[in-house]
Structure 1
């Protein structure tokens, strides 16, 4: 009599099989239901509100592409997702940076779905970045900063506040989201430092930013002006509510037009400009990296691409020939 041998238990899967063993509940999940679970997971990670908003907003663009409806599990395919990527690049003509930002959040979602066993295909592995042109620094010249500030009417509270924000951002190199999250208690005027809380930074790491004496005096005056609002946040609307970054962006557009600039100044341009001037004035790239809150020097590299006029100035100061012959 032949003995029947059994090497695997019934219902027990190999590790490679168990990941994608489909229960009835999983098989019935739709794209939207998967994303709801994904967002619960992301919130449990303690992501910043802005990051969570990006995941929601970018998922909305995908839903718009499929017509606003929903998809069953077997309808979520690599072909569909790659078609969406093609649509963004060729039909919508979106900038490569915008496409890559949306792909990044989508890739994270699809990877999570695959790892959880909600989808069988590792679609995220096929979702490659769009090639971007070499970064070119977008900054404004010092005379343009002065022109921008000159058209701001200090008699109006909202414009006075915007002036304080502009100078604070140029001095500290904060992101606009970080700047508008600063609370009054975070401003240390005794030591001329602004403390950023970990929950308010993009990297989720706290950092302390030095401020100049000029900026410290300006902030002291502004804080006295806004004391009667009795709000913990530093930068407030005319009726004492925390300022929205969209409102500040619109005001920058208005000031750019008033000043007759040939470009529209954005909050990120202030960060770029402050970074470039920091280096041109003798700051080193390692301290700049720490101030900007970058985890790698590669990220800081984008902030040190000089314009031709800046290159000429730097070359004149550090030319080997000028050094040898003491040309002044």
Structure 2
């Protein structure tokens, strides 16, 4: 069973070319599933698995306090895995084919207002190389809406300041070109001229954003920095690495941007993913109405 799980993960890497974070998520979910089948249900082969085994596993997850969103993700992982096993003729049937995914309420993404964004972007100290770097990263995130994983994976060859765009690889290694604004371009140019060389020192790296050791900055390193910068900016809202991405999309739509254009800039495969931001703008309009209309 472990070998079949390894074969599936290899298929996700080589044939489907999924992002590393997605593969890690599949692996985590399916290992939990495999261990449950093996230890609780005493199943020795995936060919023995039936619909009830999967239902029992989902019930077990729910009893452990997992949310409906987590259950839905497990269902998606299990479905995909059993489809693979059936297609490869490892199993005689697909026990997950009629398993329904639990209904989940899609939480609206948390966004910063314009004043909060400006406070965050102005917080880094520009008299230090790391502060210049932080300013460049935050300006770039808000200017383009790219993911933090895309930000830290940028190489020197991906930055085209004179032409006003960056090239990044999104989920599934899909390439996209994203335009830059003048403020972000200025911040990136300042980083290149006055900070990156001091941070890299004698290291040879293609990484555009580096840490104080001169190595490529990690997502964890960025996240730790963001929390410190938010504290300095006195932002009380809970921030996530996606907060500036959410704010980018919401502010564009609030100012009349086309939904399809925002979808392309964000790198969403399905426009329904982008449509969540239209709900955010409507919710914000309602808040404004309730706050300021005398008869609200």
Give yes or no for contact 1:173–1:291 (8 Å, CA) kept in 2.
Answer: yes
TM-score normalised to the size of structure 1? Answer: 0.76
What displacement does 1:312 show? Answer: 7.0
Hey, what does 1:41 align to over in structure 2?
A: 11
Matched, 1:310 2:285: yes
Larger Rg: 1
What's the C-alpha RMSD, in Å, of the aligned pairs? Answer: 2.6
Hey, what does 1:214 align to over in structure 2?
A: 183
Hey, what does 2:82 align to over in structure 1?
A: 110
Rounded Cα–Cα distance in structure 2 between residues aligned with 1:148 and 1:67: 49
2:239 to 262, 265, 269: 265
2:23 to 52, 59, 77: 52
My pick for the range that moved more, 38-47 or 168-177, is: 38-47
Hey, what does 2:155 align to over in structure 1?
A: 183
Hey, what does 1:61 align to over in structure 2?
A: 32
1:143-154 matches, within 5 Å, as 143-154=115-126
1:19-38 matches, within 5 Å, as 31-38=1-8
Give yes or no for contact 1:294–1:300 (8 Å, CA) kept in 2.
Answer: yes
Rounded Cα–Cα distance in structure 1 between residues aligned with 2:6 and 2:284: 51
Residues 55, 308 of structure 1: alpha-carbon distance in 2 compared, 3 angstrom cutoff? closer
What displacement does 1:71 show? Answer: 4.6
Q: How many residues align?
A: 280
5+ residue gaps, structure 2, are: 290-296
What displacement does 1:270 show? Answer: 1.3
What displacement does 1:118 show? Answer: 1.7
Matched, 1:256 2:230: yes
Rounded Cα–Cα distance in structure 2 between residues aligned with 1:218 and 1:68: 55
Rounded Cα–Cα distance in structure 2 between residues aligned with 1:112 and 1:97: 23
Per-residue CA deviations over 1:289-327 (Å, capped at 9, x if unaligned) read 11111233212101222154435779xxxxxxxxxxxxx
Give yes or no for contact 2:122–2:135 (8 Å, CA) kept in 1.
Answer: no
Hey, what does 1:81 align to over in structure 2?
A: 54
Hey, what does 2:268 align to over in structure 1?
A: 294
